[in-house]
Structure 1
Amino acid sequence: MSLLEVAGLNTFYGDSHILFDVSMHVERNEVVALLGRNGAGKSTTLKSLMGVVTPRSGSVKFDGTEIAGKKSHAIALAGMQLVHEDRRIFGSLNVEENLVLASLSASEKWPLERIYDTFPRLKERRTSRGTDLSGGEQQMLAIARALIRSPKLILLDEPFEGLAPIIVRDLLAVCKKLAADGQTIVIVEQNIAAALSIANRTYILNNGHVVFDGTPQDLKAKPEILHRYLGV
Structure 2
Amino acid sequence: MSLLEVNGLNSYYGDSHILFDVSMRVERNEVVALLGRNGAGKSTTLKSLMGVVTPRAGSVIFDGTDVAGRKSHKIAQAGMQLVHEERRIFGSLSVEENIVLAGLTASKRWPLNRIYEMFPRLKERRNNRGNELSGGEQQMLAIARALIRDPKIILLDEPFEGLAPVIVKDLMKACRDLAAAGQTIVLVEQNLAATLALAQRIYIINNGHIVHEGPARELKAQPDILQRYLGV
- Offset from partner CA, 1:93-134 (integer Å, 9 cap, x none): 000000000000000000000000000000000000000000
CA positional deviation for 1:217: 1.7
> In the alignment, which residue of structure 2 is the partner of 1:181?
181
Unaligned runs of 5+ residues in structure 2 are none
CA positional deviation for 1:166: 0.2
> In the alignment, which residue of structure 2 is the partner of 1:156?
156
> In the alignment, which residue of structure 2 is the partner of 1:51?
51
> In the alignment, which residue of structure 1 is the partner of 2:145?
145
Matching of residues 1-232 of structure 1 within 5 Å: 1-232=1-232
CA positional deviation for 1:220: 1.5
- What is the RMSD of the two structures over their aligned residues, measured on CA atoms? 0.4
CA positional deviation for 1:222: 1.4
Partner AA of 1:18 in structure 2: I
Tell me the distance in 2 between the aligned counterparts of 1:48 and 1:201: 20
Tell me the distance in 2 between the aligned counterparts of 1:154 and 1:86: 16
Tell me the distance in 1 between the aligned counterparts of 2:219 and 2:7: 23
| Structure-2-length-normalised TM-score | 1.00
More moved, 220-229 vs 143-152 = 220-229
Runs of 4+ in 1 over 2 A off after TM superposition: none
CA positional deviation for 1:177: 0.6
SS in 2 for 1:91: coil
CA positional deviation for 1:218: 1.8
Partner AA of 1:223 in structure 2: P
- Offset from partner CA, 1:113-164 (integer Å, 9 cap, x none): 0000000000000000000000000000000000000000000000000000
- Identical pairs, percent: 77
Tell me the distance in 2 between the aligned counterparts of 1:111 and 1:217: 35
Partner AA of 1:174 in structure 2: A
How many residue pairs match? The answer is 232
Tell me the distance in 2 between the aligned counterparts of 1:100 and 1:220: 40
| Structure-1-length-normalised TM-score | 1.00
CA positional deviation for 1:209: 0.2
- Offset from partner CA, 1:179-214 (integer Å, 9 cap, x none): 000000000000011011010100000000000000
Tell me the distance in 2 between the aligned counterparts of 1:218 and 1:12: 32
